[in-house]
């Protein structure tokens, strides 16, 4: 396992981050979730990502229980705030001072921890003054409840404005958590160049495009039973945009590229995002412990320029547009979701 600095900070994180969105407290039983966390630790993963909204708060609780007894100083634990958790009051969502300060206390209680290493704005809040949001995060840092601050799915302009205010408040935004994969490249044109200039790293989610880049979904067959594409708790909706036959056909053309390297398609997909030098880590989940060891091997791969070019040729072979590059796709809800 390799480790990279998170932005311009002194914090190192594992190149593979174990994330528990759509798994802990939802798709995976708690005992299996604990086995997955322990397998991640055994594989050298030290960084774990969750959010208060995942499974209505249950995901944080499951992760905290699974990490109980581990040396806290050897771990980097991330969580997020923005979406409502359990309640529907007018202030139970967004990035107001009230919601952030109540949110961090709730997260720490569920995790059973005194602090998190990274506290992230899960989305941008258009209805709260950015100055209020940044000052609330500064208060969280000053209180010792979070050591670093990050964001998720912020645009280049939002990152620039937020970083300037953060510097004035005495801290820095060190990370952004966007969706990024071979199929979803919307951050490349604007977010990545601005992030480099601002000292912000990407901690990317869905490097395997919700599992599509594993190659298990074929254009001429029904989704495998028990897969994300059959999950009616949210997984099926998230993966729908990648389940078009022309996309699945293009993905199958990546198989020879992976075979030539002697790796799985999953490993190729994760190694591809790690080839971007602005990416600190790739978020990977698991529904069984055995998946961890396979995904960790991706951190050992260094993809040549020839391989990266071969990936693009395979996906664009027939001229069909399967790669999303529109920077406008980086977006947050226009209003708070109650």
Task: Read off the CATH number of the domain in which 143 is found.
Answer: 3.20.20.100
User: Rounded to the nearest 5 degrees, what angle is found at the Cα of 115, between the Cα atoms of 137 and 60?
Assistant: 95
Could you tell me the two tokens for 16? 């593979």
Which of these, 78, 102, 295, lies nearest to 177 by C-alpha position? 78
Burial of 328 (0-12, 13-18, 19+ CB in 10 A): exposed
Predicted pLDDT of residue 23: 59
Which residues are part of the catalytic machinery? Answer: 54
Q: Residue 327 falls within a domain, yes or no? A: no
Q: Give residue-wise pLDDT tens across range 144-203.
A: 999 999 999 999 999 999 999 999 999 999 999 999 999 999 999 999 999 999 999 999
Predicted pLDDT of residue 190: 98
Q: Residue 328 falls within a domain, yes or no? A: no
d(CA 183, CA 321): 10
Could you please report the per-residue DSSP string of 68-122? Answer: TTS-GGG-EEEEEE-S--S---TTSSSS-HHHHHHHHHHHHHHHT-S-EEEEEES
What's the predicted TM-score (pTM) here? Answer: 0.94
Q: What are phi and psi of 288, to 5 degrees?
A: -155, 150
d(CA 166, CA 139): 11
Taking each helix axis as running N to C, give the angle between helix 30-42 and helix 58-67, from 0 to 180 degrees, rounded to the nearest 10: 50
CB 150 within 8 A of CB 176: yes
Q: Residue 335 falls within a domain, yes or no? A: no
Q: Give residue-wise pLDDT tens across range 13-41.
A: 999 999 987 654 455 677 888 899 999 99
Q: Give residue-wise pLDDT tens across range 111-157.
A: 999 999 999 999 999 999 999 999 999 999 999 999 999 999 999 99
Task: Tell me the pLDDT band of 229, cut-offs 50, 70 and 90.
Answer: low
Q: Residue 249 falls within a domain, yes or no? A: yes
Q: How many domains does the chain have?
A: 1
Q: Residue 305 falls within a domain, yes or no? A: yes
Average pLDDT over residues 85-110: 95
242: domain range? Answer: 3-318
Average model confidence (pLDDT) across the chain: 92
Q: Residue 61 falls within a domain, yes or no? A: yes
Q: Residue 332 falls within a domain, yes or no? A: no
* Range of weakest confidence among 113-122, 212-221, 229-238, 250-259: 229-238
Q: What is the three-class DSSP state of 215?
A: coil
Q: Residue 10 falls within a domain, yes or no? A: yes
């Amino acid at each position: 396992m390799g480790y990279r600095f998170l932005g311009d900070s002194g914090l190192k994180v594992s190149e593979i981050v174990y994330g528990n969105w759509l798994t802990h407290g939802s798709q995976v039983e708690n005992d299996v979730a604990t086995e997955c966390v322990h397998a991640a630790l055994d594989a050298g993963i030290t960084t774990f990502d969750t959010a208060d909204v995942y499974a209505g708060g249950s995901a944080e609780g499951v992760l905290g229980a699974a990490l109980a007894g581990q040396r806290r100083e050897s771990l980097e634990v991330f969580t997020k705030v923005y979406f409502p958790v359990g309640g529907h009051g007018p202030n139970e969502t967004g990035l107001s001072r009230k919601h952030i300060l109540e949110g961090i206390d709730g997260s720490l209680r569920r995790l059973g921890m005194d602090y998190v290493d990274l506290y992230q704005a899960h989305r941008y809040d258009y209805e709260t003054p950015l100055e209020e949001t940044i000052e609330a995060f500064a208060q969280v840092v000053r209180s010792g409840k979070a050591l670093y601050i990050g964001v998720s799915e912020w645009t280049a302009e939002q990152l620039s404005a937020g970083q300037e205010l953060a510097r004035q408040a005495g801290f820095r935004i060190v990370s952004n958590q966007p969706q990024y994969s071979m199929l979803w490249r919307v951050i490349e044109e604007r977010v990545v160049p601005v992030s480099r200039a601002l000292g912000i790293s990407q901690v990317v989610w869905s490097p395997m495009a919700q599992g599509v880049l594993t190659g298990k979904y074929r254009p001429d067959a029904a989704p495998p039973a028990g897969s994300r594409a059959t999950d009616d708790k949210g997984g099926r909706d998230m993966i729908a945009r990648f389940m078009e036959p022309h996309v699945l056909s293009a993905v199958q053309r990546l198989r020879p590229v992976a075979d030539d390297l002697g790796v799985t398609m999953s490993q190729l997909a994760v190694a591809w995002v790690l080839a971007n030098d602005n990416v600190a880590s790739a978020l990977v989940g698991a529904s069984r412990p055995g998946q961890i060891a396979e995904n960790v091997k991706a951190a050992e791969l260094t993809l040549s320029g020839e391989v990266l070019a071969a990936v693009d040729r395979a996906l664009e072979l027939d001229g069909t547009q399967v790669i999303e590059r529109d920077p406008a796709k980086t977006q947050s809800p226009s209003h708070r979701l109650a």
